[in-house]
Every structure is written in C-alpha cells, then in structure tokens.
Amino acid sequence: MATPQAGIDYDALVKEDRVHGSVYAEPRIFAEEMERIFHRGWVYVGHAGEIPEPGDFRLKKIGQQSVIMVRGEDGQVRLLMNRCRHRANTVCQVERGNAKTFRCAYHGWTYRNNGDLSAVTYQDGYDASFHKEDYGLSPVPRMDMYRGFIFGSLSPAGITLDEHLGQPAKEQLDLFVDLSPAGELDVTAGVHKYGYRGNWKFQLENGMDGYHPNFVHQTFFTAVQKRTGLKLDLFTSHSTGLTRDLGNGHVMLDSREYNKTNSHLLRAALPTMPGGDDYKEAMVQRYGHERAEEILTAGGTHMLVFPNLILIGVQIRVVQPISESETQVFLYPTLLKGVAPAMNIGRLRGHEAFFGPAGKGAVDDLEMFERNQAGLSARVDPWLLLSRGMQRERRDVDGTLIAQMTDEVTQRGIWRQWKKMMVQGGEGSVRRQLRASGRAAQTAH
Ligand code: FES
Ligand SMILES: [Fe+2]
C-alpha cells in the first residue's frame, strides 16, 4: 500500500490472477474510483424509454453528482446538472415526474425543461452585463446514446461512446433490444431498488459470475426441479455455457450455445424468455429468418457494460456506489414494444419471481456481498483469488476472450479495465486531458 503522500500503486494491488482486499475497502481508493472512473469515463445514466413524453424527467446520478435526465418540449433528451446557476441549490428534488420547468426554491430562478433559464426573480438587481442566456442549467459535458441507452461523461474530452462500447458489447445490446419485433423497449414499468453494506464491485463481479448460482441459489434450483422435474445445469463445470470478455471491462455470461439444446430448461427456471407463434412470426417478419433465430436463441443477454450497467433477463440494472462499503442498485424490468400484453406480463412475473423483493434469488446474493465485506476485515492474507480457468481461456473467432461458464474470465476482464482506468486516470492523464481540451478550445475559436 501507499504512504499518504505517494500515489496508490494500482499495479501492486491488481494482478492478473488476484486482487488485494483494499480495493474494496479503502476510502481513498473509493474516492479515486469516483474521480477516475465515474466522473471522467462514460457512465450509464438511463434509458430513453423511461421518459417517453415531453417534460418527462428522472433524477439520476453520475458517480456522486446529481443529474436530471429530461425530455424537453422539443422531444430531445438532455442530461442537465441538478445545480442552480445562482448559488448551486439542487433544482429538482423528486426522482420522477413531468415538468415544464424546474424552479429553484432558494431564490426562485426558473429553468425550462431544456435547461434554459427562463426567469430571474427581481432581475433589476443585476446590471446590463447579466444575460439569462448565460445561466442555463449546465449540460453534462458529453452525452451519447445507443439503442436508447443513454450514457454521460463528465469529462469534455476522451474516447467516444462508440469506442467505449466497442462492437462486441453493442451486439449484445442489440440482442437485448431486438427481442422486440418493433426494435424498441418500453421502460415505464417502474423500478425496484435494493441496497447493501458492501462494495459496488461485488455486484459487478457477482452479476457476471457463473460459478456461484448452484451454491448461493441452491434453494431456487431445488424448487424449480421439484416443480418441473428439470435440472438446470447451465452453471456447472460441464456446462457448454461460456464466460466472455468483450473488452473495455464489458463482460458476459454467454449461454447461446447452451440454449440451442436446453432453452426449455432456462424457460422453466426463469420464465422470461419469450415464446409463442405470433411472436415468432412477427420476429421473422421484422428481422428475417436467420437473424430472428439468432435473437430468439440468445433470449436477450447477460452482460455488464462497465462500470455500472448490467443487463440480465428482462432487466436493466444500474449499480450506484455510495461509499466503499455501501451500494444501491436499481432494477428496471423492461417491456417489449410490439408484443401481446400477455408476453410482457410474463416478463414481469418471471422477473419478480427471482429478482423481486419477495423473489427467490437476488436477496441471497446481497447476503453474500455483506459477508464478503465483513470477510475483508481479516487482513492476514489479504488477496482474493481470481485465477479460475486461466489455463483454459482462449480467443474466440471474433477476438473476445472466452472460457467455461464457471471460470473467472469475467472478473478478470472487469479488473483489467478497472486497473487501466485507475492507472491512466493519474496525473499523466489529467495533463493529456487538459491538452486535449485546450486543443478543442483553440479549434472552437
Ligand atoms: S440558489 Fe437557486 S435561485 Fe438562488
Ligand atoms: Fe446470484
């Protein structure tokens, strides 16, 4: 570990096959994560399907900064910093709604839902050099969208969202959205939330962990077996499922190969995979036979978009770090546009059965996170082992790294990206960024 003056040596804390426990427990590392990963890189904010109507808004966060995701009267989606340009009060206090304006309660400045400052109270107190146009709500420096997934970056310079996502992750986002024969998601079904006393990265690692389900969720699998007579073996060491590293910290559990012969097992366990003849016909109509088959076999995706977006089953899951030992998680079950209502109801019920507050699965993982954090207090041998399957990981034809479903390819992929951002986010990168934004300013003149 580092002395208080020196920088933290991330190379020493994150090895290819293991990580040091302090990366989950050290407040100073958490502060640097916020700065280097969440306040600089691309972060998932929300989905356009959450705010379909003009004026619809959601209160979100990028790292620890409050952001309003809002659709203006002009139909355009914007990310606005939730900070009055007068003396920095938050202008929005509720997590969802529809509003033409946001009025700051402190001195009454009022902003339109496109961010423009529309009214200043007692404006005669300012001289002629004051222009309302100069004091609209600040937009998040960069915003971009892919298939309705809205990402923001608090840094004005850096790689594009397209570069951050990369082709393999974009293809997985496509598979998730293209289950809709209209090619669009409805994200208005609501959200449920949970929190746990543990580090945010436990949720990332666990969401992409094909090793734990048969142990942590044993009661669930036993119940499914009792009910249906079927034994789901996706998460065993003989499964044909894969762990896959898509690059840039984006990783997935890939069950496509397994699904080709076992989709009935998955459907029995988690009845969220769509079926029905009308639906299949609509899919073929829209995508053609081959692509429709590909989408239906995948049945969505199971992936992490680094650092905070997880897609599992029907849900969009957002991981919100609070402190080094506290995390909030938001689960948005999605509906498919262009399908019969019964199918969407099926998606919701299936989702609730495992992930809901009274579901049979998700709560067990939370218990694991809290035990994990508690275990870190024992520091005699402070390393966590991530070497499973290293000897058998290999490149697939598309260049992504794969190994068996229970292997820790996914965890290693997360940590590679984490280390890259934490190391590059150091002073060298700040200088590079300043140079880059200096260049941008010059070209703008
Ligand atoms: S702080 Fe918002 S009007 Fe004064
Ligand atoms: Fe789990």
Judge whether 435 lies within some domain: no
Flag whether the pTM goes above 0.75: yes
**Ligand 1 and 120: CB distance under 6 A:** no
Q: Pick the atom of ligand 1 nearest to 121's CA.
A: 3
- Which pLDDT value is given to residue 344? 94
- Angle made by CA atoms 154, 155, 157, in degrees to the nearest 5: 150
Q: In whole angstroms, what is the distance from residue 303 CA to residue 309 CA? A: 8
Tell me the angle at which helices 289-298 and 256-269 cross, rounded to the nearest 10 degrees: 60
Which residue's CA is the nearest one to ligand 1's atom 1? 87
Q: Are residues 88 and 205 both part of a single domain?
A: no
Q: Are residues 73 and 175 both part of a single domain?
A: no
Q: Are residues 110 and 221 both part of a single domain?
A: no
Judge residue 122's burial from the number of C-beta atoms within 10 Å of its C-beta, 0-12 exposed, 13-18 middle, 19 or more buried.
exposed
Token pair of 65 as six digits: 């900064």
Token pair of 341 as six digits: 């209502």
Kindly provide the b/e burial profile for residues 369-401, where b requires at least 16 CB atoms within 10 angstroms of the residue's own CB.
Answer: beebbeebeeeeebebebebbeeebeeeeeebb
- CA 404 to chain CA centroid, Å, is 24
- Which pLDDT value is given to residue 270? 63
Quote the ligand 2 centre to 262 CA distance (angstroms): 20
Q: Are residues 245 and 330 both part of a single domain?
A: yes
**Domain finish residue from 97, 115, 146:** 146
Please tell me the number of the ligand nearest to residue 120's CA: 1
**Residue written as tokens 């691309």?**
42
Residue whose C-alpha is closest to residue 104's, from 118, 96, 225, 95: 118
The 3-state secondary structure of 184-195, one letter per residue: CEECCCCCEEEE
Query: Around Cβ 132, how many Cβ atoms within 10 Å?
Result: 15
- Which pLDDT value is given to residue 276? 82
- Which pLDDT value is given to residue 442? 37
First-to-last alpha carbon distance for the chain, in angstroms, is 45
Which residue's CA is the nearest one to ligand 1's atom 3? 107
- CA 82 to chain CA centroid, Å, is 21
Q: Pick the atom of ligand 1 nearest to 85's CA.
A: 2
**Residue written as tokens 């088959």?**
293
- At 178 the three-state DSSP class reads coil
**Ligand 1 and 111: CB distance under 6 A:** no
Judge whether 16 lies within some domain: no
Which residue's CA is the nearest one to ligand 1's atom 4? 107
Quote the ligand 1 centre to 273 CA distance (angstroms): 49
Q: Are residues 177 and 260 both part of a single domain?
A: yes
- Which pLDDT value is given to residue 34? 98
Q: What residues make up the domain containing 307?
A: 166-423
Judge whether 383 lies within some domain: yes
Q: Are residues 130 and 236 both part of a single domain?
A: no
Judge whether 308 lies within some domain: yes
Please name the residues in contact with 289: beta carbons below 8 A apart, sequence gap of 6 or more: none
Quote the ligand 2 centre to 430 CA distance (angstroms): 38
Q: Are residues 327 and 226 both part of a single domain?
A: yes
DSSP character for 353? H
Q: In whole angstroms, what is the distance from residue 201 CA to residue 325 CA? A: 10
Q: How many domains does the chain have?
A: 2
Mutation choice for ligand 1 from 66, 80, 109, 122, CB with most ligand atoms inside 8 A: 109
Judge whether 130 lies within some domain: yes
Please give the full DSSP string across 119-152, using - where no structure is assigned.
E-TTGGGS-TT--GGGGSPPBPSEEEEETTEEEE
Q: Are residues 179 and 213 both part of a single domain?
A: yes
**Ligand 1 and 107: CB distance under 6 A:** yes
- In DSSP terms, 383 is beta-bridged to 20
Q: Are residues 222 and 300 both part of a single domain?
A: yes
Give yes or no for a contact between 369 and 198, defined as CB atoms under 8 angstroms apart. Answer: yes
**Ligand 1 and 117: CB distance under 6 A:** no
Judge whether 117 lies within some domain: yes
Give the CATH number, domain containing residue 249: 3.90.380.10
- Which pLDDT value is given to residue 444? 34
- Which pLDDT value is given to residue 426? 56
Q: Where are the alpha helices (DSSP H) in 70-150?
A: none
Q: Pick the atom of ligand 1 nearest to 89's CA.
A: 1
- Which pLDDT value is given to residue 264? 74
**Beta strand extents in 30-74 (DSSP E only):** 43-47, 56-62, 65-71
pLDDT by 10s per residue, the chain, length 445? 544 457 999 999 999 999 999 999 999 999 999 999 999 999 999 999 999 999 999 999 999 999 999 999 999 999 999 999 999 999 999 999 999 999 999 999 999 999 999 999 999 999 999 999 999 999 999 999 999 999 999 999 999 999 999 999 999 999 999 999 999 999 999 999 999 999 999 999 999 999 999 999 999 999 889 988 888 899 999 999 999 999 999 999 999 999 988 877 766 666 566 668 889 999 999 999 999 999 999 999 999 999 999 999 899 999 999 999 999 999 999 999 999 999 999 999 989 988 988 888 889 999 999 999 999 999 999 999 999 999 999 999 999 999 999 999 999 999 999 999 999 875 545 555 555 555 443 333 3
